[in-house]
């Protein structure tokens, strides 16, 4: 039944209709982008940094092994390319739309939470000493707090250690991709094909290596990386499950909306077939689709998908 239905709902036939039904989701997504830009401008909290704390904050000031510009490339563009590739294989607009929307929400919600926590905590980075005192000459006030004389933008960035943005973005984007791929290849179908796990683990391994590089570059403490990875992984899982069944589910290969449309079509076909049948002799029981007096409650989601099918949504 799955293969027979694939290709019936494409971008050209249902793309705009599906997007309109999720218009409020896209509007909130734009607001998240604006909020993230505001958080990047906000000045972080400058916490007290005493001389006795410099032991853990005097690591060398190094460049990034993983450049900042590359994070959106592998965390967002790479999954989007894979989603588009799968769409051209299956022609399922629901799968493409929900995968893209879920990925964007996963990354943006993670980004907003990460930068909000960064600004509120203001934890110094492991290389803070050299950001604060680029000439190596430490200076403290009467209370023992640092008096930095380095570049203001470098010092400001030095107060954004917790949690790791590289790591949270990586696990938000690649964690979502890992869940998506595990559903598509049915990695947990109970048939024991362990080789499928290599495909599922690969994005997570890359995200973990990015996190390790942040510690190796002395831009983050290990706690920052752990918290960032946990945050990204939790948010990506929540966003994925909003649109797709769990990967171990028998219907984990497709989005909820796809199966709702199939169910709506089946119900409509059954109703049309019943109308064409000749009248039957009344045996004293109601022929209303109930079973032993039990009835299913009308599903508003199914009705909404029927509107999508007919273009009324």
9 three-state secondary structure: strand
Checking phi first, is residue 67 left (phi over 0); if not, alpha (psi -120 to 50) or beta? beta
Spatial CB neighbours of 49, under 8 Å, sequence gap ≥ 6: 57, 124, 128, 132, 145, 146
Measured over the CA atoms of residue 124, residue 125, residue 126 and residue 127, the dihedral's sign is: negative
Q: Which two tokens stand for residue 274?
A: 């019943």
Alpha-carbon 73 to chain mean position: 15
The span from the CA of 15 to the CA of 7, in Å, is 13
Q: Which of 98, 166, 221, 295 is catalytic?
A: 166
CA 270 remoteness from chain centre: 38
Q: Which of 9, 98, 220, 221 is catalytic?
A: 220
Cβ pair 124, 59 in contact under 8 A: no
* Closest C-alpha to 152, from 134, 126, 177, 139: 134
**Is 193 one of the annotated active-site residues of the chain?**
no
| 9 backbone dihedrals φ, ψ, rounded to 5° | -125, 100
Q: What is the Cα–Cα distance from 215 to 167, expressed in whole angstroms?
A: 11
Instruction: Give CA angle at 146 (126, 45), nearest 5°.
Output: 70
Burial status of residue 148 (CB atoms within 10 A of its CB: 0-12, 13-18, 19 or more): buried
Q: How far apart are CA 149 and CA 32, in angstroms?
A: 35
User: Distance (Å, rounded) from C-alpha 63 to C-alpha 127?
Assistant: 11
Task: Please confirm, yes or no, whether 97 is among the known catalytic residues.
Answer: no
Catalytic residues: 166, 220
């Amino acid at each position: 039944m799955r293969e027979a239905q694939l290709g019936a709902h494409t971008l050209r036939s249902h793309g705009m209709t599906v997007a309109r039904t999720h218009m409020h989701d896209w509007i909130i997504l734009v607001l998240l982008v604006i909020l993230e830009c505001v958080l990047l401008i906000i000045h972080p909290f400058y916490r007290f940094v005493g001389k006795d704390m410099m032991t853990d904050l005097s690591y060398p000031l190094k460049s990034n092994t993983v450049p900042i510009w590359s994070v959106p490339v592998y965390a967002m563009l790479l999954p989007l390319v894979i989603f588009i590739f799968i769409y051209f294989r299956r022609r399922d607009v629901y799968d493409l739309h929900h995968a893209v929307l879920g990925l964007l929400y996963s990354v943006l919600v993670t980004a907003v939470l990460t930068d909000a926590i960064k600004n509120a905590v203001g934890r110094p980075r492991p290389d803070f000493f050299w950001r604060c005192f680029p000439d190596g000459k430490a200076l403290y006030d009467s209370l023992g707090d640092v008096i930095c004389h380095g570049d203001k933008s470098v010092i400001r960035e030095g107060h954004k250690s917790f949690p790791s943005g590289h790591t949270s973005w990586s696990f938000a984007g690649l964690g979502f991709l890992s869940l998506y791929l595990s559903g598509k290849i049915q990695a947990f179908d109970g048939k024991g094909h362990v080789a499928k796990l290599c495909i599922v683990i690969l994005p997570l391994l890359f995200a973990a290596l990015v996190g390790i590089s942040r510690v190796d570059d002395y831009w983050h403490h290990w706690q920052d990386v752990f918290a960032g990875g946990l945050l990204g992984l939790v948010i990506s899982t929540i966003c994925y499950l909003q649109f797709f069944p769990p990967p171990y589910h028998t219907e984990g290969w497709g989005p909820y909306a796809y199966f709702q449309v199939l169910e709506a079509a089946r119900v409509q076909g059954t109703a049309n077939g019943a109308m064409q049948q000749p009248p039957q002799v009344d045996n004293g029981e109601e022929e209303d689709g109930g079973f032993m007096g039990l009835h299913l409650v009308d599903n508003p989601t199914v009705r909404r998908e029927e509107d999508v099918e007919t273009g009324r949504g």
